[in-house]
Chain A
Amino acid sequence: MDWVNVILQGVLVGGLYAMFAAGLSLIFGVMRLVNIAHGDLIVLAAYLALVTTETLGIGPLASLLIVVPLMAAIGYALQRLVLNRTLGEDLLPPLLVTFGLSVIIQNGLLAVFTADSRKLQAGDFEVSTIRLFEGVYVGLLPLLQFVVAIAVIAALQFIFYRTALGRAFRATADSQAVAQLMGLDNRHVFALAMALSLAVVAIAGVFLAVRANFDPAIGPARLIFGFEAVIIGGLGNLWGTFAGGIVLGVAQAIGAHIDPGWQLLAGHIAFLIILAVRPEGLFPKVRT
């Protein structure tokens, strides 16, 4: 029963990793931009949620109503004012600029909030569990987080493949020049993609902040988890990314159960094994 619990916890945490990864994957898919600041933006969202809950006296879940639109607006502005200027044939400028952004966000948060660990309080909800069957319990919070992750991936999938916005994303990714002939302003399309990405980041950031302590320096590690989930799942496949998050979560949970010091190591080892055995990931999207 012990192991069942361990794997179950890993699966549920995997939902969070999938949310880290989905926004990353979306941006790379639409505009070939690798957002090095993605993890720090997750932490930024966590701090925004902290400020929102403290000033308004509302719970973490209610704070989503403010943090999600706020992060989306930040994403739109960031893309329009900064990142669009870095896009072109060369992949290096956006990489360098988002790297710089990562440093700025970390130090900005450090200056405002200090290096103290913080956490969002969700009250009793945080610690309540339900019994699935004898000896196997799941926390309501991880369960909710997992359900939200499924909903987020399903919503992204729907937006991408069933709406005019998704059509514009895919068309612009195929050919910016021809997309413009259709009347699509690629700068606006890219900004909408970044807004959507940071809306997902906001959800991930709030759940991260409820689940565990956070401080300004933990962003880069979240970025790595996101990258690993994307690569494990296979580029360009949202449900693959979800599976990638779960693989990573389960590997970490198993590692931590064997020895608490092995949690991160086990995740990285699982990632390396999959990279060695299936370099294209578990469920790559065939794209010609």
Chain B
Amino acid sequence: MSEGPLLVVRDLDAFYGDFQALFGLSIEVAAGEAVAVIGANGAGKSTLLKTIAGLLRARRDAIVFAGDNIGGRPAYAIAAHGIALVPEGRGLFPSLSVEENLLIGGQLRRPGPWSLQRIYELFPALAERRNLPSTALSGGQQQMVAIGRGLMANPKLLLCDEISLGLAPIIVRDIYARLPAILAEGVSLVLVEQDIVQALKATQRVYCLQEGRVALAGAAKDLTREAIAAAYFGV
């Protein structure tokens, strides 16, 4: 185990084919910390998470996790190392039931606090729907499955891509209300969000991205509305 932060992203470039989406981007996440990544559409938030999770190529030393260079490793190896991504749009497996989706999240059998039973305690709505196909759930419940599936891997770092996407505000609040219980188990959290108010409330630090670069970084409580607006829109 290293002394430094749990995750260090250093001078990261990312590409979709010839299109460059991230330019020399650097962020850090400490153990047990919750960090928000905000920014407009196309700022590179999802790309950042996908690259950390190994779905996009990266330079070897551009991503350091728990002291190891994990840049460019395949996604399944990074998952085994303790990073779980809750993908944008939830990405549930339609052929699998709710419980099977959760079980496959835990198929690496990493030891830790989370088990099927603990997930059902966290999201009781899922317990009574465990045998339904994942497609039969409401959007909010599907998001709970996606988060639960990520937790089943007992990750050291949980990456959440737009939990609030397409959900009613009351559902979003309901889901965000469970985050403290998740953080209490010692996992680090990176939240990518369009819903800035929710994101700032749930986290200690914020990075605001703009066109693939960090435009603003700071403690969530210190950032003024004006500074965020400027970094967000680039005006």
Docked Cα-Cα span, A157 to B84, in Å, equals 30
- Which of A167, A180, A183 sits near B55, CB closer than 8 Å? A180
Instruction: Indicate if A287 sits at the interface (CB-CB under 8 A).
Output: yes
A175 to chain B, nearest CB (A): 6
A170 in contact with B85 (CB, 8 Å): no
- Which of B85, B96, B100, B135 sits near A181, CB closer than 8 Å? B85
B111 to chain A, nearest CB (A): 14
Instruction: Indicate if A173 sits at the interface (CB-CB under 8 A).
Output: yes
User: Contact flags (1/0) for A258-288 with B, using CB distance below 8 Å?
Assistant: 0000000000000000000000000000011
What size tier do the contact residues of chain B reach?
20 to 34
Counting from the closest, the 5 A-B pairs by CB-CB distance are: A180-B75, A183-B79, A183-B108, A178-B91, A170-B95
User: Contact flags (1/0) for A31-47 with B, using CB distance below 8 Å?
Assistant: 00000000000000000
A182 in contact with B55 (CB, 8 Å): no
Instruction: Indicate if B44 sits at the interface (CB-CB under 8 A).
Output: no
| Residues in chain A within 8 A of chain B (CB atoms) | 164, 167-168, 170-171, 173-175, 177-186, 287-288
Q: Could you tell me which residues of chain B, from 79 to 129, have a CB within 8 Å of some CB in chain A?
A: 79-80, 84-85, 87, 91, 93-96, 100, 103-105, 107-108
Smallest CB-CB separation from A160: which chain B residue? B95
B95 in contact with A173 (CB, 8 Å): yes
A169 to chain B, nearest CB (A): 9
A182 in contact with B74 (CB, 8 Å): no
A287 contacts which chain B residues (CB < 8 A)?
A: 95
B95 in contact with A181 (CB, 8 Å): no
A173 contacts which chain B residues (CB < 8 A)?
A: 95
A166 to chain B, nearest CB (A): 9
B55 in contact with A181 (CB, 8 Å): yes
B54 contacts which chain A residues (CB < 8 A)?
A: 180
Q: Could you give 18 example pairs across A and B, Cβ below 8 Å? A: A164-B107, A170-B100, A173-B95, A175-B93, A177-B55, A178-B87, A178-B93, A180-B55, A180-B74, A180-B75, A181-B91, A182-B79, A182-B108, A182-B149, A183-B80, A183-B107, A183-B153, A186-B76
A181 in contact with B53 (CB, 8 Å): yes
A5 to chain B, nearest CB (A): 42
A174 in contact with B103 (CB, 8 Å): no
A174 in contact with B95 (CB, 8 Å): yes
Which residue, A174, A178, A288, has most C-beta atoms of chain B within 10 A?
A178
B153 in contact with A167 (CB, 8 Å): no
Which residue, A171, A180, A181, A185, has most C-beta atoms of chain B within 10 A?
A181
A190 to chain B, nearest CB (A): 13
A182 contacts which chain B residues (CB < 8 A)?
A: 76, 79, 104-105, 107-108, 149, 153
